[in-house]
Structure 1
């Protein structure tokens, strides 16, 4: 595989699309768990918990919705991380197997859009938390200044590539775990009566609002299910699929459930959808408030570096042949252009939930195509020669595979018919359409080479 590898320094920085050989990988089991833990802890999940109050769910139904949605997500991650763990290639290259060396640009950029939106959203919340600390300590109020400062810090850390994400994730995972336990304690001890009356005692519903909540929490992190390979290719040798799956489960399920519940409790107690404002109102002690907001700042940092910078950076590097540094800076600028000061307004909570459901309608079909390609057409085997061909602009995977594009488009249309259940309605049909298009479409003949359809 030396012909497609770059120099050691580039590989170790995680700033290349080339395969990472197993002796150059930097993530152990513990580091991987902490990275995913830090990456899944976001104010967006707190906001999703808040949004479910209007849907009419009670606390137990919310707990079940978050748990089911997150477990489905973990299963998807454990399935889709296998290509990159075996080959060392990232998501952008994985897409080439099904979509072609040019066709992969479309799903790669589609993956980057929500990452950039959430990047801006969480950066604004991080800036707001810093501003609240500034007000408490110095009486200085300038959210725009702290927003810009926080964004500059994130860009500088992102330039370090995967090493920066690993370092922040390892520290942040421990710190934020302690913070979540404290925030739950705060909600229960100070607002237990209000939470019990307005959240625990209400009848709730197990109908469509509950199913929509499952989709919302599943969809909130669906993007990382697609590009799971961007992380698994950094994992050291000797980790079975089961061992990696346990890592994902321990990192994501307890933390996401806790965040969803805390978000609902905080909003019930204060009536505010914005979690930063809610916690600022809940905490009377200045020192405790500063520590709490500091934890929130760290949550934004870990999530952005792990989940919201790497995917669009690789997409831009692949589509526009950018250097990693240039891509990271551009993504930071685009995140600001999403106007996160509007997205974080209390009135935007329902809109964010709808946005999550809509992009899930796109990601379900892409996921189905990747799984069909790797598990059914390639039977989980990818030779060194086949991997090398993915990097050849004139190879068998050159150009656009219209079988994948057609399957994706049909799947998206199916999903958009009812965005509340889009993943469940679109995934299987997309996989079937892709398989039969691959089997019968004349233009797909080059892409059948080396698969179970090769004759």
Structure 2
């Protein structure tokens, strides 16, 4: 792998001195990569053990009836995790080999100006998730404050703002702080969830068996829709896989990096989804924070669990919802990293997350995921087609940073393929992500081959000499 990195040394040296490019967007050098494999795994465990994923599990129980039983849930989860890990390992390769972030990777397919449009489709959902996770954390912090003050303090909005300010401060310290927070959070939260899992099994097993395990469920559209929702929940993250892999130490094979995604996602995501469904079955409430309070009827334990919920909300935001939109803001506004990361946090304050966490809206959260992932499926497909099929994994990184180079402007083929893929996805939104991937990828190949014959974006591709 060091050989691959060495091939970009000359380009990196030139890019490091490029004007108008913030340091955070320049390629990560080998010396600048400080995250090891273990920390990387813990980072993804920390990302997976969060209340958003738990709410997704809770959404399986609608009006006391399970849409999928336990066997169908696990089967759907296994299929989704396998697909997620594969896409992660494929899409992280360019960032890992060259050190470029996702917003620069987009220029390869969409062009320098076109990448702004596609990057917003990643950044906006991240900001909304940022606010959602912060609201969950604020709700848990409010539970702590109520118990400590004997009920004299009860203000979720103030707690939400406090959580948000803490996250903004932490994120100012960059990716190193993120990796540290994730390692600590993942260990603490998993221990807490094991405890809650034990309580659910010992005290609420009868109702869980009745409402979830023995439910009839469905192997039809609800089953496949949950797979799509499951993948859609990760679609934004593996789309911007370069933002994470560029921080990982060099010398790790493609297969090993795939394992670094599969294992933590399987452990964390599978466990959290299970507890979400169990909590909803046992309590009848789809808000995990309130469900915890019902199931764990002890103020001291509730405080402890709420602390872990707060940590979990911060942990997932630090990985999934802060860095990508920050890079988007830096790219569009030319702001420095610290200013952009602060703006990201302030935007999340105004994302109306309380709407998504209402008891009646767990299903709405799933629909939100399906809608935005309809656009993300075509984008990831276009990136993979570009890198693996059209360019055979050969990209001139310096050209991606050259405002007057071959990637200037918009690539109409990529933009049209994205819209075609998203349009097809909306025809059956429950299966939108996979439809968008297939249709978007095929459309991009055909458009690049047969349309816009004089397009400069064909340079360096297999269609360069075909008129």
Question: Is TM > 0.5 for Structure 1 vs Structure 2?
Answer: yes
The match for 1:196 among 201, 204, 209 is 209
Which position in structure 1 is the counterpart of 2:313? 300
The aligned counterpart of 2:329 is 316
Query: 1 CA distance for matches of 2:211 and 2:438?
Result: 39
Alignment match, 1:267: 280
**Take 1:249 and 1:63, find their aligned partners in 2: how far apart are those partners?**
15
Q: Does 1:451 align with 2:461?
A: yes
**Which of the residues 4, 14, 24 maps onto 1:16?**
24
Cα distance, 1:381 vs structure 2: 2.5
Residues 128 and 147 in structure 1, CA contact (< 8 A), matched pair in contact too? yes
Corresponding residue pairs, total: 447
Paired residue for 1:244, among 226, 240, 257?
A: 257
Secondary structure of 1:442's counterpart equals: coil
The structural deviation recorded for 1:400 is: 0.5
Contact 2:168 2:342 in 1 (8 A): yes
Whether contact under 8 Å (2:49, 2:190) holds in the other structure is no
Aligned to 1:28: 36
Match of 1:286 among 280, 284, 299: 299
Displacement, 1:443? 6.2
Spell out, residue by residue over 1:90-127, the C-alpha distance to the aligned partner (whole angstroms, 9 max, x if none). Answer: 00000000000110001101001111111111101101
Tell me how far 1:15 sits from its aligned partner.
Answer: 6.2
TM-score (norm 2): 0.93
Q: Distance in 2 between matches of 1:432 and 1:64?
A: 28
Shift of 1:185: 1.2
Give the stretch that moved more between structures: 443-452 or 192-201: 443-452
Q: TM-score, normalised by structure 1?
A: 0.95
Instruction: State the secondary structure of the residue aligned to 2:322.
Output: helix
Residue 58 of structure 2 aligns with which residue? 50
Structure 1 counterpart SS, 2:312: helix
Q: Which shifted more, 140-149 or 346-355?
A: 140-149
1:132 correspondence with 2:143? yes
The 5-angstrom pairing of residues 285-364 of structure 1 reads 285-364=298-377
Secondary structure class of the residue paired with 1:221? helix
Match of 2:176 among 163, 175, 192: 163
Distance 1:416 1:427, change over 3 A: same
Tell me the residue number matched to 1:418. Answer: 428
Contact 1:403 1:444 in 2 (8 A): no
> Which residue is equivalent to 1:216?
229
Question: How many Å apart are 1:50 and its aligned residue?
Answer: 0.9
Partners in 1 of 2:406 and 2:35 — Cα distance?
32
- CA contact 2:375–2:436 (8 Å) conserved in 1: no
Greater CA drift, 363-372 or 337-346: 337-346
Whether the 8 Å contact between 1:15 and 1:162 is mirrored in structure 2 is: no
Cα distance between partner residues in 2 of 1:40 and 1:277:
20
Change (3 A) 1:304 1:15: farther
| Superposition CA RMSD, Å | 1.6
- Aligned mates of 1:131, 1:402 — CA distance in 2: 49
User: What are the superposed Cα offsets for residues 245-300 of structure 1, whole Å, 9 maximum, x if unpaired?
Assistant: 11111111121111111001101111111000100121122222211111111110
Aligned-residue offset at 1:81:
0.3
Question: Hey, what's the Cα distance between the residues in 1 that align with 2:156 and 2:35?
Answer: 36
Match of 1:439 among 436, 449, 463: 449
Contact 1:402 1:443 in 2 (8 A): no
Q: Is the 8 A contact 2:50 2:313 kept in 1?
A: yes
Q: SS of the residue aligned with 2:59?
A: helix
Q: In 1, Cα distance between the equivalents of 2:215 and 2:386? A: 46
Question: Quick check: 1:274–1:345 contact (8 Å CA) kept in 2?
Answer: yes
* Cα deviation code 1:304-323 (max 9, x no counterpart): 01100001001111122122
Partners of 1:187 and 1:301 in 2: CA distance: 25
Going from structure 1 to structure 2, the CA distance change for 1:250 and 1:358 (only over 3 Å counts) comes to same
Alignment gaps of 5+ in structure 1: none
Question: Which residue of the partner structure matches residue 229 of structure 1?
Answer: 242
Deviation at 1:32, TM superposition (A): 0.7
Secondary structure at the aligned position of 2:416 is classed as: helix
Q: Distance in 1 between matches of 2:146 and 2:169?
A: 26
Which structure 2 residue ranges, 5 or more long, are not aligned? Answer: 1-11
Secondary structure (helix, strand or coil) at the match of 2:463 reads: coil
8 Å Cα contact 1:5/1:20 also seen in 2? no
Q: Is the 8 A contact 1:116 1:335 kept in 2?
A: yes
Native 8 Å contact 2:131 2:352 kept in 1: yes
CA contact (8 A) 1:15 1:161 kept: no
The one of 42, 55, 80 equivalent to 1:69 is 80
